Amino acid sequence: MNWEDYKEFVKKVEVTPQHVNGITLRPLLDSYEITQLNRVLHASLGLCGEAAEVLELVKKCMYGKRKSFDAEVKEKLKDELSDNFFYLTLDLDALGLTLEDIMEHNKAKLSARYPELLGG
């Protein structure tokens, strides 16, 4: 599967709330900026929640009852990371960005921050 196919899949299953605390957002959603902000908020909240689930699994391996980092844990991490990727895709789409945009930006940022690690 490629990025564009996955992004289209994500758009089909996206369920961005249209109501918050009983307030209907529909009248506000006629504005592109509010729609975009609502999608970014929904995706960012989802991303935070899913990142916490990854951390919780790792915490249980390090300090909890589960003492092994086995195939079952790795499969659960794969499941949670796929959820992270779903919300990251929603965020990127809401902002009009691609994975390539983010990879290039991050490479430039880290290259400037750590030139000594890159032979510079």
Cα separation values, 65 from 18, 60, 68, Å: 40, 6, 9
Determine which helix (DSSP H) or strand (DSSP E) holds 93, and give its type and residue range: helix 71-95
In tens, the pLDDT along 7-39 reads: 888 888 887 666 566 666 555 555 666 678 888
In tens, the pLDDT along 55-85 reads: 999 999 999 877 788 999 999 999 999 999 9
| Overall pTM surpassing 0.85 (yes/no) | no
| Per CATH, domain 3-118 is 1.10.287 | yes
Domain spans of the chain? Answer: 3-118
